[in-house]
Amino acid sequence: MAVSIRHRHDTDIPVLAAVLVRVHAQDGYPVEGVADPEAWLRHPNEVQSWTAVERETPVGQITLTRAVPADDAAQIWHEKTGGDVENLAIPVRLFIDPDRRGSGAGRLLMEAATDFARTHGLAIAFDVMTKDSAAIRLYERLGAVRLADITHHFGNGLTEPAAVYTIA
């Protein structure tokens, strides 16, 4: 079945939240957990979100956000490139239903976000947990370049190894 990409609708949120719970159970993504998956999907710095759909059923999503100086990815990107964080977008909240992986949905979602950023004159940087090897393979196939290794801090003093990437 073919996967297509469209702008995310509010009506997609409950279905995507259920998908996210399954993703977390299988992959431990997001590392922060999914106590309130619907709230987690509504990023405060959202520029645009897209949904991957199969027969009009949401099977994954991505959100493009405006960077803020406190973002790990923004800090590393600024250090490495000298670029202005005001001109940086960060793709976040990318996940695909475990039963739909291999469909090309992840690639299509990343391409939607990066195409939007480029069209609007925005650079792209993001971080990814190093445990998420499938995501890293996807990003590197799309031409992402690793800028640095970092430690992601979350929860009550918990940490996770991560890496910061950019896509030219």
Contacts of residue 89, defined as CB under 8 A and 6 or more positions apart, other chains included, come to 47, 64, 65, 66, 67, 113, 116, 117, 120, 122, 123, 124
pLDDT band for position 157 (50/70/90)?
Answer: confident
Is the distance from CB of 113 to CB of 88 less than 8 angstroms?
no
Q: Residue 1's pLDDT is what? A: 67
- Residues 108-156 have pLDDT tens digits of 999 999 999 999 999 999 999 999 998 999 999 999 999 999 999 887 8
CA 140 to each of CA 2, 7, 81: distance values in angstroms, whole numbers, following the listed order: 24, 24, 19
Q: Residue 9's pLDDT is what? A: 97
For the chain, the domains span 3-167
- Which helix (H) or strand (E) segment is 78 a member of? helix 72-81
- Residues 84-93 have pLDDT tens digits of 999 999 999 9
Q: What global pTM score does this model have?
A: 0.95
Instruction: Kindly report the average pLDDT of the chain as a whole number.
Output: 95
- Residues 16-26 have pLDDT tens digits of 999 999 999 99
Q: Which CATH superfamily is domain 3-167 in?
A: Gcn5-related N-acetyltransferase (GNAT) (3.40.630.30)
Q: Residue 168's pLDDT is what? A: 83
Q: Residue 17's pLDDT is what? A: 97
- Residues 25-81 have pLDDT tens digits of 999 899 887 899 999 999 999 999 999 999 999 999 999 999 999 999 999 999 999
